Amino acid sequence: MKFLVMDGIVVIDKPSGKTSYAVVSEVRRLLGARKAGHTGTLDPLTTGVLPVCINEATKLVQFFSPDSKEYRATMLLGVETDTLDMEGKIIAECEPRVARDEIEEVLHRFVGKIEQLPPHYSAVKFQGKPLYKWARRGIAVDLPPRTVEVYTIVVEEIVLPYVTFTVSCGSGTYIRSLCSDVGKILGCGACLASLRRTRSGCFHEGLAVSIEGIDNEKKRDLLAANILPLTEALPELPAINVDQALVGKLREGYQPDADALGINNFPFLSAGDIVKFMSPDHCLVAIGKMLCASEQIASLDGEKRVVKIMRVFNC
């Protein structure tokens, strides 16, 4: 079997019933990759966008973690479970007697910065172990609430007891917890019936490929044909174009000083901004953090370090 050697990101349409880890392992095996990792765990129940980073692209994962996400969720009113979704044990049931405007009003209360308790069945860690491992042992660990942000909620359909809505939110938001909290306010309880991630950062479901139901050779060809280069991974980062000589120095561990960057033309940057360095042939060379504003570089001592290189890419 011939394996492909490549670096990049493939967006998988994760099926329900599989863990994110299992999907990553399959992609790594099919492509013969040295390393592979995903940019944000999806619960086994959840389907949709799961970006998988291959080889050198695994160095990008830390830069994706704060990215916003979008989901299409269906909430079941009148049912509460111990996992806050339909996979758990039912702990309470009642007939939901609520009107459409009540449901919409309560959902919209959750737009903005909110306090949210991590579900007992989640990957959040306590004393080095994920909460779901404690919960399976019958130990309910209550962690302090976390501040998360919900940008928008749009109700798509209400056919009681089901409510389908789309939500755009910041990293770390649990839609299961959102449904449970909405149910408590409505007085009937609720849980998550189904969930699909439609976007993770710049990766949307139009880029996602499904590898279910086909043989390994076709899976491999499909994955190889849909690998996105590293240059497409962080489109929002400002780019600093460097010559081939500086490319070589960066890959050898050089930390740019004022002399090295003084001749470059780049947009206004503030201290703390994250930037990417691009080679003449448009390859991603490195990612760094500005130590000063770009407008200050020309006036600095030539040997003054102006960028802290955080990651270097050898592809």
Each of the 315 residues of the chain gets a pLDDT tens digit; together they read: 444 558 999 999 999 999 999 999 999 999 999 999 998 889 888 999 999 999 999 999 888 876 799 999 999 999 999 999 998 899 999 999 999 999 999 999 999 999 998 777 666 776 777 767 776 777 777 778 889 999 999 999 999 999 999 999 998 899 999 999 999 999 999 999 999 999 999 999 999 999 999 999 999 999 999 999 998 888 889 999 999 999 999 999 999 998 888 766 666 889 999 999 999 999 999 999 999 998 888 888 888 999 999 999 987
Whether residues 80 and 159 fall in one domain: yes
If you ran DSSP here, which 8-state letter would residue 257 be given? B
Whether residues 261 and 215 fall in one domain: no
Neighbours of 75 (CB within 10 A): 27
Whether residues 169 and 189 fall in one domain: yes
DSSP calls for 205-249: GGG-B--TTS-HHHHHHHHHHTPBPGGGT-TTS-EEE--HHHHHH
CA separation for the pair 165, 98 (Å, rounded): 16
Whether residues 192 and 206 fall in one domain: no
CA 38: distance to chain centroid?
A: 8
If you ran DSSP here, which 8-state letter would residue 288 be given? E
The answer as to whether 122 is a domain residue is yes
Domain final position from 212, 230, 248:
230
Whether residues 83 and 190 fall in one domain: yes
Per-residue pLDDT at 268: 81
Residues 6+ apart with CB under 8 A from 79: 86, 90, 92, 93, 161, 189, 190, 191
Q: What phi-psi label fits residue 63: left (phi over 0), alpha (psi between -120 and 50 degrees) or beta?
A: alpha
Whether residues 265 and 188 fall in one domain: no
The answer as to whether 2 is a domain residue is no
Neighbours of 218 (CB within 10 A): 11
The one-letter code for the residue type at 85 is D
Both tokens of 194, joined, read 């189904």
CA separation for the pair 39, 262 (Å, rounded): 35
Whether residues 170 and 258 fall in one domain: no
Task: Give the domain CATH number at 255.
Answer: 3.10.400.20
CA separation for the pair 150, 144 (Å, rounded): 19
Per-residue pLDDT at 232: 87
The answer as to whether 264 is a domain residue is yes
Per-residue pLDDT at 4: 53
The answer as to whether 145 is a domain residue is yes
Alpha helices in the chain (DSSP H): 20-31, 61-64, 100-109, 131-136, 175-186, 216-225, 244-251, 258-261
Please state, in angstroms and as integers, the Cα–Cα distance from residue 111 to each residue in 3, 105, 178, 305, following that order.
Answer: 46, 11, 11, 42
Overall residue count recorded for the chain in this entry: 315
Whether residues 60 and 79 fall in one domain: no
**Location of structure tokens 């704060």:** 66
Active site residue 101: no
Domain final position from 213, 230, 247:
230
Q: Which of 7, 43, 67, 85 is catalytic?
A: 43
Task: Give the domain CATH number at 150.
Answer: 3.30.2350.10
* Best CA proximity match to 43, nearest among 122, 111, 147: 122
Domain count, the chain: 3
Whether residues 213 and 129 fall in one domain: no
Residue numbers of the domain that contains 137:
73-197
The answer as to whether 3 is a domain residue is no
Whether residues 206 and 193 fall in one domain: no
The answer as to whether 89 is a domain residue is yes
Neighbours of 188 (CB within 10 A): 21
Per-residue pLDDT at 182: 98
Whether residues 208 and 61 fall in one domain: yes
Both tokens of 75, joined, read 């909430």
Both tokens of 151, joined, read 């940008």
Whether residues 114 and 184 fall in one domain: yes
The answer as to whether 1 is a domain residue is no
Per-residue pLDDT at 109: 97
CA separation for the pair 42, 196 (Å, rounded): 9
The answer as to whether 144 is a domain residue is yes
Peptide bond into 51 cis (omega under 30): no
